[in-house]
Amino acid sequence: MASSSGRSSGSEGDLKATMNERRRKRMISNRESARRSRMKKQKHLDDLRAELTQLRTDNQRILARVNVAAQHCLNIEAENSVLRAQADELGHRLNSLNEIICFINGGGGGGGFGFSEAVDSFFNPLNYLNQPIMASADNMFQW
């Protein structure tokens, strides 16, 4: 029986050695797996940081373009306001000129104000009809 107990203890020792070897291989495998997982996680984090940097750069470039477009829009609105004011002033001048033409063609309207007085009044530098149009963007948007 000594031989069977010797084999038994020997096979138990082999079993323990095999179990220890399996445990050691499993620990090594788990460590390697954890290392790969950490590396994968770090790569993902690095990729996200790179993407964040790129998105921030893109965002700043887009904001700069929007600001330029907004400024351009404000400039055009100011110019439009000036042009509207000038068109309004020219319309008033045209109406005044049409009144003068009607007055001249109508023979003075019986008021004793003849052609020469109408012409003198028209070319008088104090008359608002001869004043230049003074509308500008600076005058339109004074806060």
Domain that holds residue 53: 2-140
The DSSP secondary structure of 77-110, one letter per residue, reads HHHHHHHHHHHHHHHHHHHHHHHHHHHHHTTTTT
Q: Residues 72, 78, 80, 86: is their CA dihedral positive or negative?
A: negative
User: Structural domain tally of the chain?
Assistant: 1
Residue type, 134: M
Tell me the pLDDT band of 1, cut-offs 50, 70 and 90. very low
Tens of pLDDT, residue by residue over 80-136, are 999 999 999 999 999 999 999 999 988 655 444 555 555 555 555 455 545 555 555
Are residues 109 and 55 in contact, defined by beta-carbon separation less than 8 angstroms?
no
> Residue 139 corresponds to which tokens in the numbers above?
């005058």
Tell me, yes or no, if the pTM score tops 0.75: no
Are residues 135 and 86 in contact, defined by beta-carbon separation less than 8 angstroms?
yes
Are residues 46 and 109 in contact, defined by beta-carbon separation less than 8 angstroms?
no
Indicate the angle between helix axes 115-123 and 2-105, nearest 10 degrees.
150
